[in-house]
Structure 1
Amino acid sequence: MNEPTWSAVDAYIGDKLLGDDPALSAALAYNREQELPPIDVSPAQGKMLFLLAQMAGARHILEIGTLGGYSTIWLARALPDDGRVVTLEIDQRHADVARTNLEQAGLADKVDIRVGDAHDSLAAMVGEPPFDFVFIDADKQGNAAYVDAAIRLGRRGATIVVDNVVREGGILDPASDDPRIEGTRALFDMLAGDPRIDATAVQTVGVKKWDGFLLARLC
């Protein structure tokens, strides 16, 4: 099995279970047009987020790392009529692209885009209604701090998903000086034995190559 086969399987899954989605396709096309980095979740991963958020009965979702809003669209679609996504993005241009994509998808009224350093935004959110579901896909150096904030801002039983936690096996290299790998290893170290949260991680292959996601529930 190799990377072309991984991608072909993802395409098969998409054809059989996802089908064509004009709003999502348009969002990816606009992201490319605006020269955003092509690091969105895959369509199959987006549908997974949608289903996990629905299974969690989420009404209040936090996303850390908006980029062009592709994953935000999936999450906003999972909400009931009175639900809301708060999504944090450090780059104003990325936030502007996301806002356009959300407007085109008819979801702008469900999403609150907050621009700035996520650490500052999270610190300012203390006292807001607790979140039911948190998706983290931002700078990997901040993963441990972001999950710690999600624990403080989430309700008991809330779901937390963190993307890109395998790094093509890089997490096994304790000598790596890649800050993304160092940040991801720090996340695993933080969660090991933490009584506030019950977590696992799953390796994945596909159009996003070899990586994985962390899935956790607040105790």
Structure 2
Amino acid sequence: MRGEIAVYESERVWRDVDDYFVETLVGEDEALVGARESGRGSSMPQAEVAPNQGRLLALLCGMVGARRVLEFGTLAGYSTVWLARAVGAEGRVTSLELEARNADIARGNLEKAGVAEWVDVVVGPAAESAWRLVEEGVEPYDFVFIDADKPSNPEYLKASLALTRVGSVIVIDNVVRNGAVVDDGSSDERVRGVRAVLDDIARDGRLEATALQTVGAKGWDGFAIVRRVR
């Protein structure tokens, strides 16, 4: 029937649409492709953000004029490259990574991308590393990307709030988990961590936020975006 819209619901088509968006609007140079492919040798293969999601992070940094970025979860450094390019050589990215092997892979990728000079990859439990930054009294961060172990999301948010300022933006990845986020009785610690951090955000008068579902190369998931208003 004329005017009827076809519905495409398969994960294959979701991936094809992402591929189309990346080819048309995003693109990846050799350094980004290498970083993405090297993720296979990390402790969580293929867990990096999709290329169009990486570009979104970079765009958000540009929109808020971010010069200092904090990242929870480096893996092979794919998103780190996007963030580092967004802030430029006059900016600074601090990326917190638990596994030394991942950090070594990431540092190599950052070198190949030409951004290593303004990125610090800190090895160790991310919460401990973040609270150490608080103790050191570092300059506040303009943008935070939380993409590490999900049960620790509430602790990462607390540390992020101690390391940011009014106007800073926090993005939390993987908040949908194939729809499992709506299960208030879930025994999955990852789901519980997501629900807990969203509850914390909702109760905190310093924050305004929303969350969006996504489908694409990474399946059915989504992210929360938070802004400090006080």
Amino acid at match of 1:192: A
- Partners of 1:32 and 1:178 in 2: how far apart? 25
Alignment pair present for 1:19 and 2:54: no
Equivalent pair of 1:65/1:89 in contact (CA under 8 Å): yes
**2:69 aligned residue:** 61
Question: Aligned pair in 2 of structure 1 residues 34, 41: CA closer, same or farther (>3 Å)?
Answer: closer
- In 2, the alpha carbon distance for the partners of 1:72 and 1:137 equals 11
Q: Say which of 78, 92, 110 aligns to 1:84.
A: 92
Instruction: Output aligned runs, 1:1-219, within 5 Å.
Output: 1-33=9-41, 36-126=44-134, 127-219=137-229
> Do 1:151 and 1:196's aligned partners in 2 also have CA atoms closer than 8 Å?
no
Deviations 1:56-109 (A, max 9, x none): 100100000000000000000001331000000000000000001101111110
SS at match of 2:19: helix
- Give the drift of 1:111: 0.2
Aligned AA for 2:210?
T
In structure 2, what is the Cα distance between the partners aligned to 1:86 and 1:216?
19
Shift of 1:155: 1.5
> Counterpart of 1:125 in 2: which secondary structure?
helix
Q: Matches of 2:200 and 2:182 in 1, distance apart?
A: 16
- In the alignment, is the contact (CA less than 8 A) between 1:36 and 1:68 conserved in 2? no
Task: Summarize deviations over 1:150-205 as a string: whole Å, max 9, x none.
Answer: 11110110010000001111011112111100100101111113101111100000
What stretches of structure 1 of length at least 5 have no aligned partner? none
Equivalent position SS for 2:216 = coil
TM-score by length of 1: 0.97
Tell me the TM-score normalised to structure 2 length: 0.92
Amino acid of the structure 1 residue aligned with 2:185: A
4+ residue runs over 6 A deviation: none
- In 2, Cα distance between the equivalents of 1:28 and 1:118? 22
User: Partners of 1:164 and 1:29 in 2: how far apart?
Assistant: 20
Which of structures 1 and 2 has the bigger CA Rg? Answer: 2
CA contact (8 A) 2:35 2:109 kept: yes
Distance 1:35 1:90 in 2: 10
> Aligned partners of 1:168, 1:32: CA distance in 2, in Å?
22
Q: 2:207 corresponds to which letter in structure 1?
A: I
Identity of aligned residues (%): 50
